[in-house]
Amino acid sequence: MSRVINGLKENGTPYFFLLPCIVILGALLSVPLYKVVEYSLYDNVIVERNPTFVGLQNYSNLLTDSAFWSASVNTLIFTLGSVIGHIIVGTGLALLVNAEIHPRAQTVFRSLLILPWIFTAVVVALNWQLLLNPFGVINYGLTEIGLIDTPIDWLGDPAFAMWALLLISTWRGYPFIMVSFLSGLQSIPKELYEAAEIDGAGFFAKFWHVTVPQLKPVIYGVALLDLIWTFQLFPLVWLTTGGGPGRSTEVLSTMTFRQGFVDFEFSQAATTAVSILIISAAFTILYLRNEKQKI
């Protein structure tokens, strides 16, 4: 015993510093994680004092529920659409703010374009609701220039709600990609562009043959990370469309919330949450493997 204590005295300092982190991770991550998996195996947890163990019944319910499948499809559309939107807008803007212009203007544009990232989701959601409102600025602008005849309820019309949501999500998420790509762009040696210039490459050839291959490792890692984040994104969807109208923008995260805190079906909510967990974990493993390769 004294040897253990002595060993700790000698080598324990790093563990001592790690302790708060371990406690927080254990208490705030592992316990809820365990609980959610446990809940998904019982019936009527939380509302009933003595829930009954039902095994995988909740999972078979989930897989036969058409709402789950439509939410899955919506999640897929929302996630892929957002990530593609982030990459296109983020890449374009990264190229623009990487251009050689007056240094002060460069700083101003870089700072301005990062702004969407620093607002909380609530502020973003409320502002876009105002903008996209039938009586909002966007409808006013579009009718003024004659693109539409009557105002459209962008977030309330099942035909447009997902598109509007993707617009908001793209606006909100591109700065992360932009900043990551910008640092990637800045690390590309100038001589490569000069060599390509002498070889006769135009703007697109340079982009395709120099920029993209050089950014590839960054693109892959950042896109996966974005995929993981967007896949489980909740506040932006919940606060703009709330999954509606009807179920037209219902994603797995809003479905989980609805099952739990609207319908009080906590077991079913836990089951849906576990399905999100499994898919997110798969992406995360891919991401970690990619990062490891880079090292």
Partner 1 sequence: MSKIEIKKLVKRYGEHQALHGIDISIPQGEFCVLVGPSGCGKSTTLRMVAGLETISGGDVVIGDRVVNGLKAKDRGIAMVFQNYALYPAKTVYNNMAFSLQLSKMPKPEIAKRIADVAEILELTPLLDRKPGALSGGQRQRVAMGRAIVRDPEVFLFDEPLSNLDAKLRGQMRAEIKRLHQRLKNTIIYVTHDQVEAMTLADKIVIMKDGRIEQQGTPDEVFHDPDTLFVAGFMGSPPMNLIECFATDKGIKLPSVEIACDMPSAVRPGDKLVFGIRSDDIRPAEDGFEGVSISANVNLIEQLGTENLVHFSLGPDEMIGKTGGRTRITPNQEVSFTLQMQHAYFFDPETGRRLR
Site string for partner 1, 214-233 (x = CB under 8 A): x-x-----------------
Contact yes or no for 78/249 (Cβ under 8 A): yes
Quote the distance between the C-alpha of residue 84 and its chain's center.
12
Please state the closest distance from residue 102 (CB atom) to partner 1, in A: 13
Please state the closest distance from residue 197 (CB atom) to partner 1, in A: 5
What is residue 130's three-state secondary structure?
helix
Using the minimum distance from each CB to partner 1, give the nearer residue, 12 or 221: 221
Compute φ and ψ for 43, nearest 5 degrees: -110, 140
Long-range contacts of 25-34 (CB under 8 A, 24+ apart): 33/277
Site string for partner 1, 170-189 (x = CB under 8 A): -------------------x
DSSP class of 51: P
- The two tokens of residue 266 are 């906590």
| Total chain residues near partner 1 (CB under 8 A) | 17
Please state the closest distance from residue 198 (CB atom) to partner 1, in A: 5
Side chain identity, residue 19: L
C-alpha 7/C-alpha 39 separation (Å) is 41
Please state the closest distance from residue 188 (CB atom) to partner 1, in A: 10
Contact yes or no for 246/158 (Cβ under 8 A): yes
Please state the closest distance from residue 288 (CB atom) to partner 1, in A: 24
Using the minimum distance from each CB to partner 1, give the nearer residue, 70 or 106: 106
Using the minimum distance from each CB to partner 1, give the nearer residue, 196 or 277: 196
Site string for partner 1, 187-216 (x = CB under 8 A): --x-xx-xxxxxxxx---x---xx--xx-x
Q: Distances from the Cα of 79 to the Cαs of 71, 163, 167, 233, in angstroms?
A: 12, 12, 12, 9
Q: Is 284 in the site for partner 1 (CB under 8 A)?
A: no
Please state the closest distance from residue 190 (CB atom) to partner 1, in A: 9
Using the minimum distance from each CB to partner 1, give the nearer residue, 55 or 189: 189
Contact yes or no for 249/255 (Cβ under 8 A): no
Interface with partner 1 (CB under 8 A)? 189, 191-192, 194-201, 205, 209-210, 213-214, 216
